[in-house]
Amino acid sequence: MNKIPEVIKHSQLLKRLVLDRETVEEQGCIEELCLDPQSHQVIGFICKSGLFGKQKKYFAWKQIETIGADATLVNGKPQVDNLEEHNNIVNIIGNELWTDTGEKVGFIVEYILNIKTGAIVNYLFKSNGWRGVLDSVYLLEAEAVSSAGNKRVIVVNSSVENPQCYTGGVAEKLGLLHNFLQADLVRTREHIDIARGEAKKLALGFQQRAKVVKKQAQEKAQVVTEQAKQKVEDFQTKSTEKKNRKTQATTDEFSTKIQQVTTEAKEKIDGVKSQGIKIFNSSKDEGEQNTND
């Protein structure tokens, strides 16, 4: 069995079947709700029946016993005497919405009422882009309506400065829709503030971390650069030392060779000199001997 909500939208009652509670006879289908815009109260409804819906009947809201998922049960007979009076009642749906400061906000598209009492919980209006408000459906407190006519509704300016967007289904499930939305709005703003604070902390943390990482990267790059520079210098030093050692070894080897050649030449010269002296002394001795003979 479908659970009957505590509140319902005006449009959800239209074309709903009406049955007499005692006889279970069809009284017709709901054609229109009769709203008193001064008291923000649905005081009754008009249903139509017969060929082409020509027969109309008026029932007071207090005659309703049950509003079910498929039909509305009423007690008592329709109030024929009040039909003409209530048939000409103001229909607020479709009326332009104006502020008491003379600004056009949009137009009324729907209202939500309490099933048991017929009291209006909220009106719903669609914005025309007033003050940057997007073309969506928004909530309007019943108390905000200061006057209503056949074409226009005037509301207190402050009530529509920051309108709350309406989400379908919420009204059907909650009896105190306005209070719920206000509380939800407060919680949402608190959550947004917390989220913004956390995001700010995270952003600050990221910035600080980025600075640390950047500094570490710069220091590491400097160390790597210094190490590379030192390795290049060490390589150059080793190359120079190796080159110098090689040059020194070549020089030493060359000097040794020269010294060896010089020594050998000197030895040969000394040998030649010694041989010449011996020959000379031998010739001298032979000469002296011949003279004596």
CATH number at residue 47: 2.30.30.240
Q: Residue 44's CB: how many other CB atoms inside 10 A?
A: 24
- 28: pLDDT strictly greater than 90: yes
User: What average pLDDT is seen over the chain?
Assistant: 80
pLDDT, mean of residues 88-113: 89
Residue 121: pLDDT over 90: yes
Higher pLDDT, 8 or 86: 8
Question: Among residues 150, 175, 200, which one ends one of the domains?
Answer: 175
Do 17 and 54 lie in one domain? The reply is: yes
Q: pTM for the whole thing?
A: 0.54
Integer Cα distance of 86 and 58 in angstroms? 8
Asked whether residue 50 is domain-assigned, the answer is: yes
**Same domain? 15 vs 81:** yes
Q: What is the pLDDT of residues 130-162, one digit of tens each?
A: 666 666 789 999 999 999 888 999 999 998 888
213: Cβ–Cβ under 8 A, 6 or more apart, which residues?
none
pLDDT score of 43: 92
Residue after which a domain boundary falls, among 42, 62, 87: 87
Q: Which of 121, 129, 84, 87 is nearest to 104 (CA)?
A: 129
Q: Tell whether 167 is covered by a domain.
A: yes
Using alpha carbons only, what angle is made at residue 263 by residues 258 and 264, rounded to the nearest 5 degrees? 100
pLDDT for 16 equals 93
182-240 pLDDT tens trace = 555 666 676 677 767 777 777 777 788 878 878 887 888 788 788 878 887 887 787 77
Range of the domain at 46: 7-87
Query: pLDDT tens for residues 237-265?
Result: 877 777 777 767 666 777 777 777 778 77
Q: What is the rounded distance in angstroms from the CA atom of residue 55 to the CA atom of residue 23?
A: 19
For residue 63, the model assigns a pLDDT of 94
pLDDT for 171-185, tens place per residue?
A: 444 444 454 455 556
pLDDT for position 181: 56
What's residue 285's pLDDT? 67
The better pLDDT of the pair 54, 125 is held by 125
Residue 223 lies in a domain: no
Q: When comparing pLDDT for 293 and 222, which is higher?
A: 222
